[in-house]
Amino acid sequence: MLMRFKIPYAPSAFINYSMVFCISIILFLHETNAQVNGKNFKETTESLISKSSQSYSDLELVLKPIQQDTSLMRYFANASVKESYYAGASYALNKLGIAYRDYSLYDKAIKLHQMALDASVENNNTEFQIYSLTMLSSVYRQTEAIPSALDCAQKAIDLAESLEQPSVNIKRNLNFSVNSIGHIYRTLGQYDLAVANFRKSIALETELGNLTGLAMNYKDIGECLEAESKLEEALENYERSLAFNEKIGSKRIHVISNLGIAHVYVHQNKINEALEIFESIFELSKDLGDMKITSEIYLNIGWAHLQNKNFEAAEKNLNKGLEIAKKYNLLSGMEEAYSFLADLWESQDDFKKSKEFFLEAVDVEEKISNDRNRRYVADLITRSETEKKNNQIQVLAKENEIINLKLRRNQNTLLIGALLVALFTLMLYILHRQTQLKSDKKLLTLEQSMLRSQMNPHFLFNSLNSIKLYIINNEKKNAVHYLNKFSKLVRKILESSSVREIPLAEELETIELYMTIENIRFSNEIDFKIIVDEGIDPHIVKIPSLILQPFLENALWHGLSSKEGEKSIILQISREKEGYINISITDNGVGREAAEKLKESKVLKRKSVGIDITKERLANFSKDYQNKFEIEIQDLFNEQGEASGTRIILNIPTI
Query: What digits encode the pLDDT tens for the residues 511-557?
Result: 888 888 888 878 788 899 999 998 888 888 888 877 888 888 888 88
% residues pLDDT > 70 (the chain): 81
At 439, the pLDDT band (50, 70, 90 cuts) reads low
pLDDT at position 296 over 80: yes
Total count of residues recorded for the chain: 655
pLDDT at position 629 over 60: yes
> CB of 232 within 8 A of CB of 225?
no
Rounded to whole angstroms, the Cα distance separating 553 from 564 reads 18
State pTM to two decimals: 0.47
> CB of 180 within 8 A of CB of 141?
yes
> CB of 204 within 8 A of CB of 196?
no
Position 595: which residue type? A
> What rounded mean pLDDT belongs to the chain?
80
Strand 526-532, strand 567-574: pairing: parallel
Q: Which long-range contacts (CB under 8 A, 24 or more apart) does 282-285 make?
A: 284/251, 284/254, 284/255, 285/255
Residues 6+ apart with CB under 8 A from 654: 541, 579, 580, 581, 625, 627
For residues 65-81, average pLDDT:
88
Kindly report the number of other CB atoms within 10 A of residue 381's CB atom. 13
- What pLDDT does residue 14 have? 34
- What pLDDT does residue 53 have? 86
Return phi, psi of residue 582, to 5°: -100, 125
